[in-house]
Amino acid sequence: MATDDLKAVLRRERVPPRASLLIESMRDIGYSLQTAVSDVIDNSITAGARNIELLADTTSDVPAIGLIDDGSGMSESELLEAMRPGTRSPLEDRPDHDLGRFGLGLKTASFSQCRRLTVVTRKAGITSCAAWDLDTVAETDEWYVEFPDSTAGTPWADRLQQDGTLVVWEKLDRLVDPRNEADRRNLVRQIDETASHLELVFHRFLAGEPGLKRVSIFLNGRRLKPFDPFHSRHLATTFGDEEVFRLGDGEIRIQPVTLPHHKKVTADEWNRYAGPEGYIKNQGFYLYREKRLIIHGTWFNLARQSELTKLSRVRIDMPNGMDAEWKIDVKKASAQPPAPVRDRLRRIIEVIGAGSRRAYTSRGRKLVSDNRLPVWTRSQDKNQISYGLNPDHPAFSHFSNTLGDEQKREFARLLDLIASTIPIDTFFADVSSHPESVSTRMLDEEAFAGLVTQTYLTLKSGDLSDDDVRLMMSSAEPFRSNWKAAEEAISVLARGNEG
Ligand SMILES: Nc1ncnc2c1ncn2[C@@H]1O[C@H](COP(=O)(O)OP(=O)(O)OP(=O)(O)O)[C@@H](O)[C@H]1O
Ligand SMILES: [Mg+2]
């Protein structure tokens, strides 16, 4: 060592981490079962696997989870290196399509869920097997990887046919206490949720796309189906202009998408694309790193998730060379856009917001202008929008005309009371969480017929021709929506009037 280097230093002490303690802390960097399984699958995809099987034994005395792939497999020395926590530098350039970065995922993801990680791998006909057992590390306080003398005791080891790798998690202390039935049921539920998570995170691999080979993932033999959060194949899905943004040597692609309005899809489709968290929570950016979804349903603090933009989802594609700039974490489950990209994203959000506002206001205006005799009126004064009952609607004016002066005033006050107490908050909450089940109540037949008669007579008394009355009523609710029934009733009234 050059003496210059030592000048500022009095002395140096080696302070290696205590194996038994650090390895326990490595368990708590915040993985869920879903993100942990995804991290192990990343390795299989990087190793060129075309088939990956997630295996879960939730019923036996010693529950276990396995992931088996038909990728390149590893030699024994490669396996030993793979078991090393921090086997590769995060600073190193990786080939395109490598989904890894930190040289940690296999270990951190596995330890977050289990106390025993076994890897069985086969390359060029040679099978190797190694295991981390946290109980051994705790006992010895040494970073010892074990090499079992046979794979006989490892679940699913016989499933490895040609080249490929099997990762097995046993001692699932964080997932299930085998003596507890409720725990086991909970594990089954978590595994099902993990399968749905994989259908989203790896949907582009599951579907295949130009430049990306198709990968099949199975859960206990069931083939997972890709879940495309953009509903890209639906004709009513609209795509904004794709933007390409250069940052350093890399390229970021940004594609805004608007999902179909609920009237354009079936109720099943509407619910499926809402996702368990709903449209409001699932709007926002969907960031893909080498086609693998990292984070979704966020505007990165650049905008609020609002009702207005709930159908907007924006796909961002980034390469694997920008991990530091995007602050990609070990779990590949969070990210932050770098400053120059933030400005661009902010502008994209502004365009999306303006578009949605236009769509909504023009729809609102249309509703009001189409309806020449509204029951409800909508008025806008600067930023204040309010709704009221229209006292000129024939149903109200006809009734009002039958009243004495004092009762007339009382009736007008009643209309005001109703209009001033519309339950806007609950209505808004219902529409945003399940719009498909919100509808106006139907009038019963008798009430509807009564309303047709009143309205017809009121309009006729104003010296309007029959054709004009029909025209006005056909554009007013509730007649417009039930025009066939209304027209029949009007014809009967018109004949009666003639006679
Ligand atoms: N299924 C597999 N098939 C072949 N090689 C594998 C497999 N899983 C892991 N490896 C090898 O083990 C290494 C370590 O994997 P690990 O997940 O710990 O880190 P990484 O993938 O390099 O980076 P990251 O921490 O970002 O996941 C990988 O770089 C790869 O060389
Ligand atoms: Mg990895």
The pLDDT tens digits of the residues spanning 256-313 come to 999 999 889 999 999 999 999 999 999 999 999 999 999 999 999 999 999 889 999 9
- The residue contributing the CA closest to ligand 1 atom 1 is 44
Res. 1: pLDDT tops 60:
no
Count CB atoms within 10 A of the CB of residue 397: 16
Q: What is the pLDDT of residues 96-122, one digit of tens each?
A: 899 999 999 999 999 999 999 999 999
**Ligand 1 center to 117 CA (angstroms):** 14
Residues 163 and 26 in one domain: yes
Residues 117 and 208 in one domain: yes
Separation between Cα atoms, residue 140 and residue 18, nearest integer Å: 11
pLDDT at 30: 96
Residues 25 and 135 in one domain: yes
Separation between Cα atoms, residue 35 and residue 23, nearest integer Å: 19
Q: For the chain, what percent of residues have pLDDT higher than 90? A: 67
Count CB atoms within 10 A of the CB of residue 94: 17
Q: What is the pLDDT of residues 210-250, one digit of tens each?
A: 989 999 999 999 999 999 999 999 999 999 999 999 998 89
Task: Tell me the ligand closest to 165's alpha carbon.
Answer: 1
Q: Check residue 219 and give left, alpha or beta (phi > 0: left; psi -120 to 50: alpha).
A: beta
Residues 90 and 143 in one domain: yes
pLDDT at 138: 97
- H helices of 275-338, in order, are 279-282, 323-326
Please give all residues whose CB falls under 5 A of ion ligand 2, grouped by chain where several chains appear.
Answer: 42-43, 100, 105
Q: Which of 44, 75, 102, 106 to mutate to test the pocket of ligand 1 (most atoms within 8 A of CB)?
A: 106
Q: For the residues 20-27, what does the mean pLDDT come to?
A: 96
Atom nearest to 44 CA in ligand 1:
1
Structural contact between residues 375 and 335, judged by C-beta atoms closer than 8 angstroms: no
In a domain, 261, yes or no: yes
In a domain, 229, yes or no: no
Question: Tokens 């109200």 identify what position?
Answer: 396
Residues 170 and 49 in one domain: yes
Averaged pLDDT score across all residues of the chain:
90
Q: For the chain, what percent of residues have pLDDT higher than 70? A: 94
Lowest-confidence range among 171-180, 267-276, 445-454? Answer: 445-454
Q: Give the domain-ending residue among 173, 195, 223.
A: 223
**Ligand 2 center to 341 CA (angstroms):** 26
Structural contact between residues 117 and 99, judged by C-beta atoms closer than 8 angstroms: no
Residues 204 and 271 in one domain: no
- The residue contributing the CA closest to ligand 1 atom 29 is 103
Separation between Cα atoms, residue 419 and residue 376, nearest integer Å: 9
Residues 284 and 155 in one domain: no
Structure tokens at 291: 């086609």
Q: What is the pLDDT of residues 411-439, one digit of tens each?
A: 989 988 998 888 888 887 787 777 777 77
pLDDT at 363: 58
Residues 179 and 314 in one domain: no
Report how many domains make up the chain: 3
pLDDT at 480: 83
Identify which of 311, 317, 308 has the alpha carbon closest to the alpha carbon of residue 237: 311
In a domain, 340, yes or no: yes
**Ligand 2 center to 338 CA (angstroms):** 23
In a domain, 2, yes or no: no
**Ligand 2 center to 105 CA (angstroms):** 4
Residues 454 and 481 in one domain: yes
- Residue 289 is part of which domain span? 238-362
In a domain, 332, yes or no: yes
**Ligand 2 center to 23 CA (angstroms):** 18
Separation between Cα atoms, residue 32 and residue 39, nearest integer Å: 11
Separation between Cα atoms, residue 159 and residue 166, nearest integer Å: 9
Q: For the residues 51-74, what does the mean pLDDT come to?
A: 97
**Ligand 1 center to 157 CA (angstroms):** 19
pLDDT at 369: 52
CA neighbours within 13 Å on the CB side: how many for 376? 13
Residues 111 and 217 in one domain: yes
pLDDT at 431: 74
pLDDT at 3: 53
Which domain CATH number covers 51?
Answer: 3.30.565.10
Q: What is the pLDDT of residues 464-484, one digit of tens each?
A: 788 888 888 887 778 887 889
**Ligand 1 center to 220 CA (angstroms):** 23
In a domain, 397, yes or no: yes
Task: Tell me the ligand closest to 117's alpha carbon.
Answer: 1
* Higher-confidence position of 6 and 445: 445
In a domain, 72, yes or no: yes
**Ligand 1 center to 461 CA (angstroms):** 84
Q: Using N-to-C axis directions, what is the helix angle for 76-83 and 105-113, rounded to 10°? A: 60
Exposed/middle/buried for 8, CB within 10 Å: 0-12, 13-18, 19+? exposed
Which domain CATH number covers 331?
Answer: 3.30.230
Q: Check residue 12 and give left, alpha or beta (phi > 0: left; psi -120 to 50: alpha).
A: beta
Count CB atoms within 10 A of the CB of residue 66: 22
- The residue contributing the CA closest to ligand 1 atom 14 is 82
In a domain, 1, yes or no: no
Residues 144 and 191 in one domain: yes
Structure tokens at 236: 């009513």
Q: Give the domain-ending residue among 337, 362, 387.
A: 362
Residues 26 and 109 in one domain: yes
Q: What is the pLDDT of residues 380-397, one digit of tens each?
A: 666 677 788 888 777 787
Atom nearest to 71 CA in ligand 1:
3
Residue ranges around ligand 1 (CB below 6 Å): 39, 42-44, 47, 69, 71-72, 74, 82, 87-88, 100-107, 165, 330
Task: Tell me the ligand closest to 47's alpha carbon.
Answer: 1
Q: Give the domain-ending residue among 223, 249, 284.
A: 223
- The residue contributing the CA closest to ligand 1 atom 8 is 43
